[in-house]
Each structure stands twice: as C-alpha cells, then as structure tokens.
C-alpha cells in the first residue's frame, strides 16, 4: 500500500531506504548478543533484492542500547553485523552501511532514534536527500525518525509493529504507512517509484569528502 502525498522522484534523484534491524530484518530477540541467534524474517532477502534491483540505496539504522547496558559487547555486535552482511551478500544484496547508536535512553545522545543523528550521518556519507527517502521499522521511534528528517515512514507489522500500530490508533499521521512486512514495504516503495521513463540509478557509491 502506498502512502498519501508521496511525490515523484526528480530526474537523477536516487531513492534510499533506511531500515531498522530487529523486528524488521530479523526476528525480534531481546538484546541479541549471539550471532548464531540471528534469524532473518521471511521475505526479507527477496524484498531487499527487489529494491536494490531498482537502484534503491539501502542502509541500516539501529538502536543497540544493550552495549550501554552491558548486555552485549562491541565485538559481539560486530560479529552479528558481519553475519547479517554476509547473509545479505550471498543473496546479492549490499548494504551501504550499518549505523549504530550504542547509547541508552538516559544518555540523551543525538543518535538514538528518533533523534536524527544516524540518518543524518548516512546522508552525509552517501549524499542522501532525506526528503526523498523512506524509514522502515516496527517501532514508533522509526516513524518519528522519518518525521524528524523529512522522510516517509513505513511501519511493518512484524516485530513490535502490531503493538505499535495499536498504540498509535487514530493519532497516526497520514504520511505514516502501515504494511504487513518488509515485502509489503518494498511493494509500496516500488509502486511509488514506478514512473514511466525514469532512469534507474546505478550502484550506490559513497560521497567523497
């Protein structure tokens, strides 16, 4: 399903999707600290492959307060992300990056979603026009991040998504779209990108500094 008011992409503009990790790409696991416990949700690989095939840039933005809480080490997190990256790569999917906030809520940092720090760092690294991007996740913080940076928010009903949808109720802004899973998010995004005659951007390249 597509959201109301999603504008067409301008000539040469590259679409980007900033993805939450837990509950969006992989099964929700309370403070995941074991790479062997990482399990992708059904349809994730095909959804990401379809987006990438249309030239959509892909990056992960994830809160990992388990580090601040002492429940996971940086080395464990790196191992989890190496496993995730390798899994996606085997399916031909390349992430531009995985952007992590290691802080807890009490740290009042600028990077813990819904604060915009992670999205803005990705934008600096890759030259992303955040007003022409999507943020996809299963929590209110993901949608609020989208609003904070002027992107479009997509809530998936996987992970905590159904619970989030219930708590939002009638207060959900009209530009926040709800879908069943990442495949549904890919469907909505690709439908919005289906503009006759528009060229598909090439592979993502980091922005030179």
Residue 22 annotated to the active site: yes
Q: Which of 22, 34, 125, 129 is catalytic?
A: 22
Distance separating alpha carbons of residues 31 and 106, to the nearest angstrom: 17
In 114-195, at which residue ranges do the beta strands (DSSP E only) sit? 133-137, 152-156, 176-179
Q: Are 131 and 13 contacting, i.e. CB atoms less than 8 angstroms apart?
A: no
Distance separating alpha carbons of residues 151 and 6, to the nearest angstrom: 10
Distance separating alpha carbons of residues 19 and 146, to the nearest angstrom: 11
Residue 20 annotated to the active site: yes
Task: Look at residues 127, 119, 134 and name the one whose alpha carbon lies nearest to residue 190.
Answer: 134
Q: Which of 20, 78, 129, 194 is catalytic?
A: 20
Can you tell me which residue has the tokens 């597509």?
2
Any idea which residues carry the catalytic annotation?
Answer: 20, 22
């Amino acid at each position: 399903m597509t959201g109301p008011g999603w504008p067409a992409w301008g000539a040469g503009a590259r679409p980007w999707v900033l993805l939450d990790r837990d509950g969006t790409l992989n099964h929700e696991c309370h403070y995941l600290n074991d790479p062997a416990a990482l399990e992708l949700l059904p349809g994730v690989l095909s959804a990401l492959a379809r987006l990438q095939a249309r030239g959509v840039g892909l990056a992960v933005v994830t809160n990992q307060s388990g580090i601040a809480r002492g429940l996971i080490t940086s080395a464990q997190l790196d191992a989890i992300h190496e496993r995730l990256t390798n899994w996606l790569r085997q399916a031909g999917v390349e992430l531009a990056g995985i952007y992590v906030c290691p802080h807890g809520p009490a740290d009042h940092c600028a990077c813990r979603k819904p604060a915009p720090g992670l999205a803005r760092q990705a934008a600096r690294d890759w030259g992303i026009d955040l007003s022409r991007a999507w943020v996809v996740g299963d929590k209110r913080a993901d949608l609020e991040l989208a609003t904070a940076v002027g992107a479009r928010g997509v809530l998936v009903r996987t992970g905590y998504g159904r619970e989030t949808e219930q708590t939002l109720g009638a207060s959900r802004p009209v530009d926040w779209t709800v879908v069943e899973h990442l495949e549904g998010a890919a469907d909505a995004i690709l439908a919005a990108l289906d503009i006759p005659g528009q060229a598909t951007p090439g592979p993502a390249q980091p922005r030179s500094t």
